[in-house]
Amino acid sequence: MVKVAIIGGGGHARVLSEIISQAPELSLTGCFDDSLERGAELWNGVKVLGSVNDLGKTTDEIDAYVIGIGNNSVRKKISGQHSDLNWISLVHPNAVVSPSAKIDAGSVVLAGAVVSANAVIGRQVIVNANVTVDHDSKIGSYVHLSIGSQVGSNSTIEESCLIGIGQIVPSFSTIVE
Amino acid at 161: C
Question: CA-based angle 156:162:167, to the nearest 5?
Answer: 75
Q: How far apart are CA 93 and CA 171, in angstroms?
A: 27
As annotated, the active-site residues are 135
Residue 168's nearest CA partner among 116, 122, 130 is 130
DSSP 53-112: GGTTTTTTT-SEEEE----HHHHHHHHHHTTTS-BPPEE-TT-EE-TT-EE-TT-EE-TT
Residue 8 near residue 69 (C-beta atoms within 8 A) = yes
Residue 110's nearest CA partner among 169, 156, 52, 66 is 66
Q: How far apart are CA 27 and CA 19, in angstroms?
A: 10
